[in-house]
Amino acid sequence: MAPPRSPNRPEISVLQSTHLEFRCPSDDAWYGVRLLLRGDTLTVKYNDFSEIFDERFCASDFKTLSKIHALRDRFRLASVQLQDNQCSQVIEGVVVCVSHCYSQDDIRFYDAFIHAVNNAEHRYVNGEEECTCFFKVLWRHGPLDGIHTQTKIGNICRIQSGNGERNATLASFLKMSREKLEMASHSVLSSPRRSFSVCKDASNETHGSTGKQSDNGCTSKGRGKWHSKGTWCTARTCKGSIKDTGGKIGQDVDLGGEPLRKKTEDTGNFYFILIDNMEKDLSSLVVVDFIYRHTSVLSHAYVFPSLLLEPFTRGVIVVDSRGKLEKIWEFLHDPTHIIISSRGRPWVSSEKMLRHGAFPTSFWGIMSKSEDEHRNRNAESDDIKVIQFGTKEYMKADLLKESFMLFVDDLRGLYCKLASDENEILQSFL
């Protein structure tokens, strides 16, 4: 988990000015950080938190370039808290950083997409301007991922352009990591493959429960579990940052699979995501071609049979690495567009999970087609479209998507009632 509030600090502490913020691997939120580089070890120090929550990354522990990029992408320039007289900067279609209040002393920040702006006349209280506008946001990660809520200007921060490599310390560490990876690749054919080394340091686990591994494969010693996470600023004066993608990873009951909470590369298993609300006559080949055209990722797909009374069906997209699946996930959940069928039915990922596990090859055969075969194929893929934000088609698809999600929520309630009724009947015969 993310670091809790230090017991030696007040319940609401003001975040010190910082150049960078970091997306925490365990709770998906953004936190302000400072960096320290000693030798080939980068220490990420969370502002206003004890040193026991420091993250440490070893330059020699990165196995692939994508792992280095994954760490790089967790950093960015610190977002800027918007004031009441700056609400005009918040317009439809932009991505901002928004605070989410778990409790009075637990506020965290996540990215969200501005879906709509409800402008209102500002008022003045004791001579100070106060914004009364409301902003409809679509959360991009965190506990509200994929959900629309309303918020006010005091909870919104502007994301600065530019990446974290503008920070000299981070840039030096990333350069060192790339150089070490290049040196290691030169001897890979003559040396046996080595597993990730364990970081021998005093830091605890990467914002999580004991023994969890960070993105680069380094394992930190257990930090223990906390029931609440710390507050680092007030909602209207400052912000911090941390993030947790692990919360979106789960286990499938029907198809199999296991949570991606551990090091999973090189296991030989498949990575997959379930899609709801597909057309019943959709071809798996069309899905594969569509995904490849928009992501350059070679995948496999299967469209499941459905009941006659169901107006839609479900499908699964399968790849052979977590990195490929995450790329597809980002495309499918990009709030600037919606994926629909030629009849206007929007795709929905209602479970919001990335899955990992073995698939029976008799289901569809082994993924054996090459990229060249996909590039040369002239399959008809107009059955699936990408509709951009701001268009009339997008508004219609968004309403249909919300309607489907309401249906899914009702269905979950019925499933729970069925399980309860079944249990009651079974218990009555014991």
> Is 5 inside any structural domain?
yes
Shared-domain flag, residues 231 and 330 = no
Percent helix / strand / coil, the chain, rounded to 5: 25, 25, 45
pLDDT for the residue 78: 92
pLDDT for the residue 375: 41
> Is 348 inside any structural domain?
yes
Q: Cα dist. 131→91, 110, 155, 233 in Å?
A: 15, 22, 12, 20
Contacts of 423 (CB under 8 A, 6+ apart): none
**What are 181's two structure tokens?**
């990876």
Give the total number of structural domains in the chain.
2
Shared-domain flag, residues 230 and 185 = yes
Q: Which domain holds residue 308?
A: 270-404
> Is 412 inside any structural domain?
no
Q: What is the pLDDT along the chain (430 residues), one digit of tens a residue?
A: 455 433 333 332 333 334 899 999 888 899 999 999 999 999 999 998 889 989 999 999 998 888 888 898 899 999 999 999 999 999 988 889 999 998 888 899 999 999 899 999 999 999 899 999 999 998 988 888 888 899 999 999 999 887 788 889 999 999 999 998 888 776 554 444 443 333 333 333 333 333 333 333 333 322 222 322 333 333 333 443 333 333 333 333 344 444 443 333 334 478 888 999 999 999 888 998 899 989 988 888 889 998 988 999 999 998 888 888 888 988 998 888 999 998 999 999 876 667 777 655 444 443 433 334 444 444 444 689 999 888 889 889 989 998 998 898 888 889 888 999 999 999 999 8
pLDDT for the residue 270: 80
> Is 255 inside any structural domain?
no
Measured CA to CA, the distance from residue 359 to residue 366 in angstroms comes to 10
Q: What is the pTM of this model?
A: 0.54
> Is 361 inside any structural domain?
yes
- Side-chain half-sphere of 335: how many Cα atoms within 13 Å? 21
Shared-domain flag, residues 184 and 315 = no
Strands 95-103 and 123-125: unpaired
> Is 1 inside any structural domain?
yes
**Which residue, 247, 262, 282, sits at the end of a domain?**
247
pLDDT for the residue 48: 87
10 Å CB burial of residue 75 (0-12, 13-18, 19+) is: buried
> Is 265 inside any structural domain?
no
Shared-domain flag, residues 86 and 162 = yes
pLDDT for the residue 134: 94
Per DSSP, what are the bridge partners of residue 387? 338
Shared-domain flag, residues 76 and 209 = yes
pLDDT for the residue 157: 95
Shared-domain flag, residues 237 and 280 = no
Shared-domain flag, residues 214 and 306 = no
> Is 240 inside any structural domain?
yes
Picking from 72, 52, 53, the residue whose alpha carbon sits closest to that of residue 62 is: 72
Shared-domain flag, residues 283 and 345 = yes
CATH number at residue 327: 3.30.70.330
Shared-domain flag, residues 170 and 22 = yes
pLDDT for the residue 4: 44
Picking from 248, 409, 254, 222, the residue whose alpha carbon sits closest to that of residue 322 is: 248
Shared-domain flag, residues 174 and 280 = no
Shared-domain flag, residues 141 and 285 = no
pLDDT for the residue 153: 94
Shared-domain flag, residues 209 and 78 = yes
Measured CA to CA, the distance from residue 88 to residue 133 in angstroms comes to 10
Measured CA to CA, the distance from residue 397 to residue 340 in angstroms comes to 7
